[in-house]
Amino acid sequence: MTHQVLARKWRPRDFETLVGQQHVVRALTHALASGRLHHAYLLTGTRGVGKTTIARILARAVNCETGVTARPCGQCSACSGIDAGRFVDYIELDAASNRGVDEMTQLLENAVYSPSAGRYKVYVIDEVHMLSTHAFNAMLKTLEEPPPHVLFILATTDPQKVPVTVLSRCLQFNLKNMTPAAIASHLAGVLDAERIAYDAPALALIGRSAGGSMRDALSLLDQAIAYSGGSVAEAAVGEMLGSVDQGWIDAVFDALASADGAALVGVADAIAEAGSSFERVLDELALRLHRVALVQAGVRVDDASREACERHAKLFAAEDVQVYYQIVIHGGRDLPLAPDPHAGFSMTLLRLLAFRPETGDAPLPVPAAGSGGVGLASDTSGGAPRSPGTAAGTQALQALRAATASRSVRGAAAPGAAREASEPVGASDRRQPAAAPEVMPSGAAAPQGLRVNAEPVSAVPSVSSRAEPSPAMSVASPAAHAPPVAFDGDWPALARRLAATGLLGQFLQQSELLSVDQDSFRVRVPIRPLAEAATVTRVRELLSQHFGQPVRLQVEVGAVAGVTAARVVEQERGERLEAARESLETDPFVQSLLSDLGGRILPDSVVPVPGGTG
């Protein structure tokens, strides 16, 4: 068998032909030129990045008959013997199969003897992390102070498993993964030297599939030559690797640009019929979106998809490309959770279409400053206006338009409007909540210092005549006050009677009552999450159910300094704990035990009995 695989035939013999790893080449070259060699090296990195190759080059460099040099001749008996694996002073040990303490002891016993044919005895221990703990311990002393003619080169793919006692005795080099461009360039040079025809896009496919390993890339190149019948064609390599047809990616972009949902589903069906991997399609789609974003940022993309990327960069806005990229990334992550891959992939494509910006809606008008109107600001950046994203947003918009249309009539006819206008701002604010100048989505947290009003939905919004209404969110407010609620003013006691749990319970326990006016409660909570619109609405419904009539609830966020239900509970617990301690200290039986046994009461061990007085 005379054929030699490309991975062995094209293994570098010197530092000049080594692809990548320039940081390692530079350090070793300077060390060899200056004679400052370390006695132990640790090479780390994934498979196929050059760990064993660098070890062999270094062994030739220190044993070459021309002298210790960074450029071994490659012709002398030492260089050729190391290449062929027959040099007696070059020992390669596979730690995966020689991991015991006996093998390590034998190696170290032979290390004390002088080299037979070379200048140095070079021990290369591959996958050194596989050694047992006893084997590591056996080599520590020799690794720290070896004979002057011994050079250790350790290699591993998992440096985390190497003991720190070994790491501290070695000069460590972390080898990097090869970039796809570097791999493709090297493969092109190999094929030119072998006089084999190839397509440049095919080498790019191999470079991406190699995963940063040059050895894997050369093995894939051997397979591609055999698959293509003596050449390296793009179509054959794509079929061999199961690569994604770029026509599908173009079809997805074209369907998105034309908002054609049926075409997107058709692409998913075609991919399913071809038996391609949906994960790979999503990966390729994410890569294409990345290239489109680069083109939009003014970066030149030099690959086969450059023309398509430039065309798509003009069809989509930059912010939409970013949204699409996130959807595709998350779609690939969630694909295993789908009922089947086809359904998950189809939903990802339809999600891209669902988040496509609307272009047919007219911008919403913005009310003039000081008009007291309520509206949603439109996009003033020159782009297409965005419509509300949810049904709730549409309903809120309709309600606001109706409120704005009838505001002038209701403002004139509202009971007490003249009286409120003549009163100070604080008095009006205590009596009823101000009109809401803006609407936040349901569930959004109220900003610090703002108020949130939760009132019955069926009522008509009330309007305050104050010149500067304070920011608030109001669903609606009754046109007139309902009868006063039967409330004694004890908010902590009310919180106990309601006995709510979860977030509602925390709201009632941590809130402070500021004022109450007939059917309107005004409270303050210490943190913003408790003032979310959904929570405030649920508390209002709970209060309405308790009092048997609709109530209004106004919530502020700020420091709570008054009496809360939580502080009352804590105070009562402290009183019961103090009473329990006093009871123990005055109990005759306890005092006799302490006197007879010489003991003492540990303060932290006293726990009051629940429901008792001590």
Nearest to 560 by CA among 497, 508, 521: 508
Q: What is the pLDDT of residue 555?
A: 92
Which of 416-430, 468-482, 518-532 holds the top average pLDDT? 518-532
Q: Per mean pLDDT, which range of 87-96, 398-407, 600-609 is the poorest?
A: 398-407
Torsion of CA 567, 569, 574, 580, to 10 degrees: 170
In three state form, how does the secondary structure of 217-266 look?
A: HHHHHHHHHHHHCCCECHHHHHHHHCCCCHHHHHHHHHHHHCCCHHHHHH
Shared-domain flag, residues 141 and 186? no
407 domain-assigned? no
Q: What is the pLDDT of residue 567?
A: 87
pLDDT digits (tens, 9 = 90+) for 538-550: 899 999 888 888 9
Nearest to 174 by CA among 22, 43, 46: 43
Shared-domain flag, residues 13 and 144? yes
- For residues 535 and 505, the answer to whether their CB atoms sit within 8 Å is no
Q: What is the pLDDT of residue 289?
A: 92
Shared-domain flag, residues 195 and 231? yes
281 domain-assigned? yes
422 domain-assigned? no
Q: What is the pLDDT of residue 607?
A: 73
Side chain identity, residue 13: R
Q: What is the pLDDT of residue 417?
A: 35
360 domain-assigned? no
Shared-domain flag, residues 461 and 555? yes
Shared-domain flag, residues 439 and 544? yes
pLDDT digits (tens, 9 = 90+) for 483-496: 787 888 888 988 88
pTM of the model: 0.53
- Residue of higher predicted confidence among 417 and 454: 454
Shared-domain flag, residues 65 and 53? yes
- Residue 451 half-sphere exposure, CB side, CA atoms within 13 Å? 26
The domain boundary residue, chosen from 174, 189, 223: 174
Longest dimension (CA), the chain: 112
- Residue of higher predicted confidence among 441 and 530: 530
The band of 357, judged by pLDDT with boundaries at 50, 70 and 90, is: low
Name the residue with tokens 């105070």.
571
Helix, coil or strand: residue 31: helix
- Residue of higher predicted confidence among 480 and 330: 330
Shared-domain flag, residues 35 and 79? yes
What is the percentage of the chain residues whose pLDDT exceeds 90?
23
In three state form, how does the secondary structure of 256-299 look?
A: HHCCCHHHHHHHHHHHHHHCCCHHHHHHHHHHHHHHHHHHHCCC
Would the pLDDT of 372 be above 60? no
Nearest to 84 by CA among 181, 162, 8: 8
The domain boundary residue, chosen from 322, 354, 386: 354
> Structure tokens of 357?
């910006």
pLDDT digits (tens, 9 = 90+) for 257-303: 888 889 989 989 988 888 788 888 899 899 889 989 999 888 887 66
Element (H or E) spanning 579, and its range? helix 565-586
What does the DSSP 8-state code read for residue 560?
-
Strands annotated E in 45-138: 90-94, 121-126
d(CA 345, CA 335): 7
- β-pairing, 40-44 with 171-174? parallel
Characterise 126 by phi-psi region: left (phi > 0), alpha (psi -120 to 50), beta (else).
beta
d(CA 260, CA 535): 40
- For residues 555 and 536, the answer to whether their CB atoms sit within 8 Å is yes
- Residue 313 half-sphere exposure, CB side, CA atoms within 13 Å? 19
- Residue of higher predicted confidence among 599 and 371: 599
Q: What is the pLDDT of residue 518?
A: 81
d(CA 571, CA 255): 66
Q: How many domains does the chain have?
A: 5
110 domain-assigned? yes
Shared-domain flag, residues 250 and 237? no
Shared-domain flag, residues 552 and 442? yes
Would the pLDDT of 97 be above 50? yes
537 domain-assigned? yes
pLDDT digits (tens, 9 = 90+) for 210-255: 888 999 999 999 999 988 888 898 888 888 887 777 888 888 998 8
- β-pairing, 40-44 with 150-156? parallel
Phi and psi at 43, nearest 5°, equal -105, 125
- β-pairing, 121-126 with 512-517? unpaired
Would the pLDDT of 149 be above 70? yes
Shared-domain flag, residues 159 and 298? no
Side chain identity, residue 454: A
pLDDT digits (tens, 9 = 90+) for 7-38: 888 888 889 888 888 899 999 999 999 888 99
The domain boundary residue, chosen from 307, 336, 354: 354
| CATH number, position 257 | 1.20.272.10
Q: What is the pLDDT of residue 610?
A: 60
Average pLDDT in the chain: 77
**121 beta partners:** 150
Shared-domain flag, residues 520 and 581? no
Q: What is the pLDDT of residue 360?
A: 42
d(CA 44, CA 40): 13
Name the residue with tokens 């061990």.
605
Would the pLDDT of 67 be above 50? yes
455 domain-assigned? yes
Query: What's the average model confidence in pLDDT over 165-194?
Result: 91
Query: What's the average model confidence in pLDDT over 94-103?
Result: 86
Domain range for residue 260?
A: 246-354
Helix, coil or strand: residue 14: coil
Q: What is the pLDDT of residue 348?
A: 92
- Residue 447 half-sphere exposure, CB side, CA atoms within 13 Å? 8
Q: What is the pLDDT of residue 432?
A: 41
Q: What is the pLDDT of residue 611?
A: 55
| CATH number, position 56 | 3.40.50.300
370 domain-assigned? no
Q: What is the pLDDT of residue 61?
A: 92
The band of 409, judged by pLDDT with boundaries at 50, 70 and 90, is: very low
Which of 45-49, 390-394, 516-520 holds the top average pLDDT? 45-49
Shared-domain flag, residues 349 and 482? no
